[in-house]
Amino acid sequence: MSNAVTLPLLSEAPPGEVTVAGSNLRIVFRRHLRAPVQNVWAALTIPERLADWFATATIDLRVGGSIHVGWADFRITESDPPRSLAWIWELGGRDTLVRFDLVPEADGCLLTLTHSGLDPEGGPGAGVRAGWHAHLEGLPDALEGRMTPREIKLAREAALNEVYPGLPA
Q: What is the pLDDT of residues 112-139, one digit of tens each?
A: 999 999 998 887 777 899 999 999 999 9
Confidence check: pLDDT of 65 > 90: yes
Cβ neighbours for 128, distance < 8 A, ≥ 6 positions apart:
27, 91, 115, 118
Give the pLDDT confidence score for residue 10 in this predicted structure.
79
Q: What is the pTM of this model?
A: 0.91
Structural domain boundaries of the chain? 17-160
Nearest to 121, CA basis, from 162, 143, 93, 147: 93
The band of 167, judged by pLDDT with boundaries at 50, 70 and 90, is low
For residue 46, what is the DSSP state?
A: S
User: What is the identity of the amino acid at 112?
Assistant: T
Q: Does the domain spanning 17-160 belong to CATH 3.30.530.20?
A: yes
